[in-house]
């Protein structure tokens, strides 16, 4: 790899660790590349699809002229390994906020859970979480929510292509979900809980695919302080 290669265009597949923001991961990559390849200040780099800090997995970073590919990659279908906990909720629909509204799940059967998940396959109306990066009147929804303001989120159409590889170990349920751009898996977890009548929230989320790109081809080595890219003279 040379500086010219990076300027001409390159795609990195990163395995984002837990509690890193997508912005932090890209900044780390940008710092290392600029330092090792002596790249100009205006070197272009960006990611093709945000992952929440509490999520791990595939983060695609485009460099140089390949930053033009970002919209195309963002539009591609996504796949996630998902774990939810039923019988309890959180305000954020994930582990960011503490558990609330505990409910008894002793009457919930595996058949009920399977039927509930199947109802969400296809085109659905989904309301994004209040704790999300969606802008309302120029402000992020999560900033308004954290400031204690009442936030009204509008529903939107999204598509769940499939839900499979289901495993049930109550109160935890895990599965793989394939979905369209703009799908909030946190909202899916919440909605599954509402369908069951006992609540649910997202406990783990790992992105495994974006279009043709797979997590098996990704690396997190770039985060190591002593990691160096292979430089071709």
Q: Tens place of pLDDT for every residue, the chain, 233 residues? A: 788 888 888 999 999 999 998 999 999 888 888 888 888 888 899 999 989 889 999 999 999 999 999 999 999 999 999 999 999 999 999 998 999 999 999 999 999 999 999 999 999 999 988 877 777 777 777 777 777 777 778 899 999 999 999 999 999 999 999 999 999 999 999 999 999 999 999 999 999 999 999 999 998 777 676 565 554 43
Question: Are 113 and 182 members of one domain?
Answer: yes
Q: Is residue 29 part of a domain?
A: yes
How many angstroms separate the CA atoms of 205 and 160, rounded?
A: 16
Q: Is residue 166 part of a domain?
A: yes
Question: Are 29 and 83 members of one domain?
Answer: no
pLDDT of residue 233: 39
Which of 5, 15, 52, 217 is catalytic? The answer is: 52
Question: Are 40 and 137 members of one domain?
Answer: no
pLDDT of residue 231: 46
Question: Are 69 and 82 members of one domain?
Answer: no
Q: Is residue 228 part of a domain?
A: no
Strands (E), the chain: 10-16, 45-47, 56-63, 78-86, 122-126, 135-136, 139-140, 156-169, 172-179, 200-210, 213-214
Question: Are 60 and 173 members of one domain?
Answer: no
Q: Which domain holds residue 178?
A: 78-210
Q: Is residue 178 part of a domain?
A: yes
pLDDT of residue 226: 58
Question: Are 14 and 107 members of one domain?
Answer: no
pLDDT of residue 42: 86
pLDDT of residue 217: 95
Question: Are 89 and 186 members of one domain?
Answer: yes
Q: Is residue 231 part of a domain?
A: no
Q: How many domains does the chain fold into?
A: 2
Give the CA dihedral 109, 112, 117, 123, nearest 10 degrees: -170
Q: Is residue 69 part of a domain?
A: yes
Question: Are 82 and 104 members of one domain?
Answer: yes
Question: Are 156 and 193 members of one domain?
Answer: yes
How many angstroms separate the CA atoms of 152 and 161, rounded?
A: 27
pLDDT of residue 146: 76
Q: Is residue 164 part of a domain?
A: yes
Question: Are 116 and 68 members of one domain?
Answer: no
Token digits of residue 143: 């900033």
pLDDT of residue 31: 86
125 in catalytic set = no
Question: Are 197 and 82 members of one domain?
Answer: yes
119: domain CATH number is 3.30.2350.10
Is 0.85 topped by the overall pTM? yes
Question: Are 219 and 193 members of one domain?
Answer: no
According to DSSP, residue 196 is labeled: H
Q: Is residue 232 part of a domain?
A: no
């Amino acid at each position: 790899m040379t500086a010219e290669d990076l300027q001409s265009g390159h795609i990195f597949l990163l395995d984002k660790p837990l509690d890193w923001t997508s912005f932090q991961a890209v900044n780390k990559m940008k710092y290392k590349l600029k330092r090792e390849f002596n790249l100009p200040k205006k070197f272009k780099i960006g990611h093709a699809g945000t992952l929440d800090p509490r999520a791990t997995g595939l983060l695609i970073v485009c460099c140089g002229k390949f930053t033009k590919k970002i919209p195309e990659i963002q539009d591609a279908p996504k796949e996630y390994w998902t774990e939810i906990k039923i019988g309890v909720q959180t305000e954020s629909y994930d582990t960011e906020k503490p558990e609330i509204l505990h409910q008894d799940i002793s009457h919930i059967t595996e058949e009920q859970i399977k039927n509930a998940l199947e109802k969400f396959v296809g085109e659905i109306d989904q309301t994004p979480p209040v704790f999300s990066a969606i802008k309302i009147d120029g402000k992020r929804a999560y900033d308004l929510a954290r400031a204690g303001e009442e936030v009204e989120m509008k529903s939107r159409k999204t598509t769940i292509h499939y839900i499979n590889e289901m495993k049930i170990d109550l109160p935890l349920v895990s599965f793989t979900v394939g979905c369209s751009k703009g799908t909030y898996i946190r909202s899916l977890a919440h909605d599954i809980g509402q369908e069951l009548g006992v609540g649910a929230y997202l406990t783990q989320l790992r992105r495994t695919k974006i279009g043709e790109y797979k997590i098996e081809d990704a690396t997190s080595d770039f985060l190591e302080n002593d990691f160096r890219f292979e430089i071709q003279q």
